[in-house]
Chain A
Amino acid sequence: MAEIILQVVDGLAIGSIYAGIALGLTLVYGLLRILHIAHAGVYVVGAYTAYMVYSATGSPLASMAAAMASSALLGFLINRLFYKPLLDQPRYVPLMVSIALFIVMEELVANVFGHYPKGFHVEFLSRDISLAGATVNTRKIVVFVIVLAATLLTWALTTKTRLGVASQAAAQDAETAMTLGVRIPLIIDFNFLLGSALAGLAGFLYGYYYGVISPFMGGVVAYKGLVVIVLGGFGSVMGAYLGGIILGLVEQVMTALYPHVLPREAYAFIALIALLLFRPYGIFGRREMA
């Protein structure tokens, strides 16, 4: 029983990090229909900003805020400088640019900070507690709670406010939204700022959870982020969150139960295939958004 609780808590924490990354991806995809691979680079830059600020200040909150701010700015600039001029082009054009940007960002970070992982030990709410017989470190619970709070805030912003109405209308039919008086570029900017800030948050939380960051930590999440938004349904905030959690749990629990049968990533994709067979547009997805 204790072992199961341990795996579930780990799965929830890892899934929360996936969800944090996927939230931003789904916000961008919902509006622009661009697979924003460079988002994984934004996440890496967020993690390294967090590392620098934590090294300089020792403050976890300042480190987290700096990661979110730097990532938000970077995502905003990527949209303005690279995606916006290409919106009239076929979608594979910005996709190619996005992949190139991701590689450039990875290599730049590697050149500046070195190619090897760096220890990033954040001392914040970290102690062992007993949970139904299992010893669990509180940082796993902190990761889960922070991402859950960020998701609920994002969900409220995108469904309960006028901005959310505008954003939903823009995601579903930009021309109709414009006839309602909605300024589409403003909505796109907002989604990039919010989504990229969440990637920065996920970068910080990755370091906080694993105690280490690497210039190439975005490689795996670049495609896992895609798995998550496909699982959850393109463009859906709650879908991205649940998709992340499901992926984290499936990976963790299946790897613990059958460690030598398949590698961790294979379980993630088996879960994806199984779900898509029954729900081709994901948990909360709709045909129009795919």
Chain B
Amino acid sequence: MLRLENVSKHFGGIRALDGVSLSLREGRITGIIGPNGAGKTTLLRVMAGFYKPTRGRVYYRDRDVTPLGPHERARLGIALTFQIPRAPPEFTVGQLVQAAVGKAMYRGAAMLAERDRGEVWDRVHRVLERVGLSEYAEREASQLPLGLQKRLELARALALEPRVLLLDEPSAGMSPEEARELAGLVRDLNEKEGLTIAIVEHNVPLATGLSHYMYVLHYGRLLSEGEPGEVLRDPRVIEAYLGAGYARG
């Protein structure tokens, strides 16, 4: 569905990604884990078009989307949620989701049309209901507690009716209970709506519990890949996370 071929991303002398090739399989949840500074967020931002790779190509449904910017990829159906929620301060929860409904609305003369009402708001409410935010529709988005802002990130992404959902540390800052609820929601989106999902997580049990397939990054390189259980038993992964002593067992 979404494929990276030999992607490198350098920031000055820092190699955030170095020759990474991987693919997100259609209708599956792909987990991406790795210690701090492994390049996980950079990888998602390359997928979403926020960073152009220094080398390598990005393909979406076999189309080379490397030159496309984030707004073009969003229109194609690739939606990203941010690690730190980014609710613009003057938007209510409903308005922010409304702004994301309808991928084609920010084009040409359609932009001069009146702000959407009616059927668009029905869709806004359906999305808010989907993530459990219906009762917050009129609240100022930036004033919500962190856990709810994380859900709003998801709602904003879902409003685009994506085919690929890129989740950057969705459980960061959440209580264990909130994280469990979020995991249930992500699994639902995959199983009931067939969304292809990539999830970058520090919470390894959550990522392994959700993912069908996993990639492990370390210092910008692909260290390991496979089924979650297989990856967790890989001595190279154990060493990267816990040190050489644990790997030797």
> A interface vs B, CB < 8 Å?
157, 160-166, 168-169, 172-173, 175-184, 286, 288
Contacts and interface: CB of A to CB of B under 8 A. Distances in A.
Contact of B71 (A157, A161, A164, A184): A184
B210 interface: no
Contact of A178 (B74, B105, B156, B157): B74
Best-buried of A161, A165, A172 by chain B (most CB within 10 Å): A165
B20 to A, nearest CB: 22
B113 interface: yes
A179 B70 contact: yes
Contact of B86 (A166, A173, A182): A173
B99 A165 contact: yes
B111 A286 contact: no
B88 A168 contact: yes
B119 interface: no
Contacts of A162: 105-106, 110-116
Given A160-B115, A166-B111, A180 B99 contact: yes
9 contacts: A157-B112, A162-B110, A162-B116, A175-B50, A175-B86, A179-B80, A180-B106, A180-B160, A182-B106
Nearest to A173: B88
Interface residues of B, number: 34
Interface of B: 48, 50, 69-72, 74-75, 79-80, 82, 86-91, 95, 98-100, 103, 105-106, 110-116, 156-157, 160
Contact of A181 (B103, B112, B115): B103
9 closest A-B pairs by CB: A172-B88, A178-B70, A163-B111, A181-B74, A176-B86, A180-B100, A173-B88, A178-B71, A181-B75
A173 B106 CA distance: 16
A135 B88 CA distance: 49
A161 B114 CA distance: 4
Given A179-B48, A181-B106, A183-B71, A288 B112 contact: no
Contacts of B98: 165
Nearest to A185: B69
B235 to A, nearest CB: 38
A179 B74 contact: yes
Contacts of B87: 176
Contacts of B116: 162
Contacts of A166: 99, 106, 111
B114 A286 contact: no
Contact of A179 (B95, B113, B156): B156
A169 B156 contact: no
Contacts of B72: 183
A169 B116 CA distance: 15
B90 A161 contact: no
Interface centre among A177, A178, A181, A183 (most CB of B within 10 A): A181
Nearest to B89: A288
B114 A179 contact: no
Nearest to B160: A181
Contacts of A164: 115
A173 B149 CA distance: 15
A207 B113 CA distance: 35
A161 B79 contact: no
Nearest to B86: A176
| Most chain B beta-carbon contacts within 10 A, residue among A157, A169, A288 | A169
A161 B50 CA distance: 26
A180 B156 CA distance: 8
